[in-house]
Amino acid sequence: MKYSVTMSSFKEIFEPLTDALPVLKRLNYDAVEFIGEDQSSRDLNNFTEILVAHDLKVSGVTGMWGNVSSKAGTRRLLSLDGSMVENAKRYVTRCIELCGQLGGQQFNVCLFADPGTTMLDFSHRVLSQRQKLKLVEKSIPLLRSLANYAKDYGVLLLLEPLNRYATPYCCTAADALRICNTVDQPSFGILLDTFHMNIEEDSFSRAIELAGVLLFHMHFADNNRKMPGSAHLDFTSVLKALHNIKYQRYISFEPNLERRSYYNSLKEGIAYIKGIDSTISTG
Ligand SMILES: [Mn+2]
């Protein structure tokens, strides 16, 4: 396995964000997942220089979708407003280019629609497969053309299912697989995130095995979005399933970190996962 951390986890901790890089190198991370926001070419050059100096790689670029910022909220691939879809499309193409430029392997899309599209109490209800399909159907040709665009940059475009409280149109590995099979492009695949899986999947292992060869990236966080080992997710079954499908790509930690405890969290979290991984590898 190779280990990476999302740079977005450091937004509240480091200014500039590049100050996170020496820390990550010291803690034996292999790579960082760059943040999918506009950067000046000066900042980007600076980032690349510091990255190279610390012998770190870029695993990919994290798509900033939904409520993470007001800008992110306008990136709606499922909008009924054509200009909103166009806005999301431009965002994806820019991030693909950024990812290619940084030598990253993947960029993730999440499917958001206009607010008020569905008015369900998601604590008790979910959308039916038919309702999901109806809303997602229109975006298939766009996803296909974006996947093709990504291919030209040596980047994979990955669909990340989120939990129902974030966006209810693609929540499980089965939802993502259905969309993937319809898009049907070798440069289009799946990213699974243990935080969302914990809410939506019947089982970690069944979801991972279902995604199978289309699983190209993993986000790891515990059930409370802290580093793995902080709470009660069963990372042994996650890692066993990854071994079963011969997954050898990045495990990218995507935790909430706090200024006072980030160092120990990052240190203990990777040690916890590497510990489980080595028992599986030798057992
Ligand atoms: Mn994620």
How far, rounded to the nearest angstrom, does the alpha carbon of residue 232 sit from its chain's CA centroid?
Answer: 21
Helix ranges, 1-108 (H):
20-26, 41-53, 82-102
Residue 225 CA, ligand 1 centroid: distance in Å: 10
* Rg (alpha carbons) of the chain, rounded to whole number: 18
- 98: containing domain: 2-282
Count of the separate structural domains present in the chain: 1
pLDDT tens digits, residue range 70-81?
A: 899 999 999 999
Residue partners of 223: CB distance under 8 A and separation at least 6: 195, 198, 231, 232, 233
pLDDT of residue 282: 81
- What does the pLDDT read at residue 177? 98
* Residues contacting residue 57 through CB under 8 Å, at least 6 positions apart: 30, 31, 32, 51, 103
Average pLDDT, the chain: 96
The rounded Å distance from CA 10 to ligand 1 centre is: 15
CATH of the domain at 180: 3.20.20.150
What is the pTM (predicted TM-score) of this model? 0.97
Q: According to the model, what pLDDT value does residue 213 have?
A: 98
- CA distances in angstroms from 13 to 10, 216, 222, 262, listed in the order given: 5, 29, 20, 8
Selection from 232, 224, 122 nearest residue 169 by Cα: 122
pLDDT tens digit sequence for 26-36: 999 999 999 99
Structure tokens at 12: 């509240």
Residues, beta carbon < 5 Å, ion ligand 1: 193, 219, 254
Residue 119, pLDDT above cutoff 80:
no
Residue 108 · residue 152 · CB < 8 Å: no
Average pLDDT, integer, range 117-143: 90
